């Protein structure tokens, strides 16, 4: 019960802090803070466009994102829509075909300094979302 309360409190605090992080997310300055990127997605119920700052790391033909809590709106929105856009290091990438992958596989994308933070997550929250680049992004493949 206490863990759930802490998780809910942290999630609400993060939502309030996002308005400040959005200003640097996806920029070169944001890259200095755990690869802070801007995820552009559409709400599954409202149809509104949202921008969520989060850490994204190149993985395979796209990017991997850590899902920090058991229920995360941005993750559910992306899974429902099947596509989104990510601003990473000053460039925009159209992403599609989201899939949840096991932590063992996703950890290959993360640098050594970040892995301890991910390992400290509770087992029920260790989810990772892999987003593949859309075919229209094939010319950007060499940029990563």
Do the domain assignments include residue 50?
Answer: yes
Mean pLDDT of the 71-90 span: 94
First to last CA, the chain: 42
Q: Residue 80: what are its φ and ψ, rounded to 5°? A: -70, -40
Do the domain assignments include residue 15?
Answer: yes
Per-residue pLDDT reduced to its tens digit, 11-59: 565 666 566 666 667 666 656 566 889 999 999 999 999 999 999 999 9
How many domains, the chain? Answer: 1
CATH number for the domain spanning 78: value is: 2.30.110.10
Separation of alpha carbons 81 and 56, rounded Å: 19
pTM for this one? 0.77
Mean pLDDT of the 104-113 span: 89
Do the domain assignments include residue 142?
Answer: no
Do the domain assignments include residue 6?
Answer: yes
As a whole number of Å, the CA-based R_g of the chain is 15
Question: Residues 16-48, buried b or exposed e (16+ Cβ, 10 A)?
Answer: eeeeebeebbbbeebbeebbbbbbbbbeeeeee
The domain in which residue 108 lies consists of: 2-134
């Amino acid at each position: 019960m206490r863990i759930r309360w802490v998780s809910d409190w942290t999630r609400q605090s993060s939502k309030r802090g996002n308005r400040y992080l959005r200003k640097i997310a996806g920029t070169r300055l944001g890259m200095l803070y755990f690869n802070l990127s801007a995820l552009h997605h559409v709400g599954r119920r409202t149809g509104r466009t949202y921008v969520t700052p989060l850490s994204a790391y190149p993985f395979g033909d796209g990017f991997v994102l850590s899902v920090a809590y058991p229920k995360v709106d941005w993750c559910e929105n992306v899974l429902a829509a099947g596509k989104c856009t990510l601003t990473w290091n000053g460039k925009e990438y159209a992403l599609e075909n989201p899939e949840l992958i096991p932590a063992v596989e996703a950890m290959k994308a993360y640098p050594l300094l970040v892995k301890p933070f991910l390992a400290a997550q509770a087992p029920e929250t260790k989810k990772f979302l892999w987003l593949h680049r859309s075919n229209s992004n094939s010319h950007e493949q060499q940029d990563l």
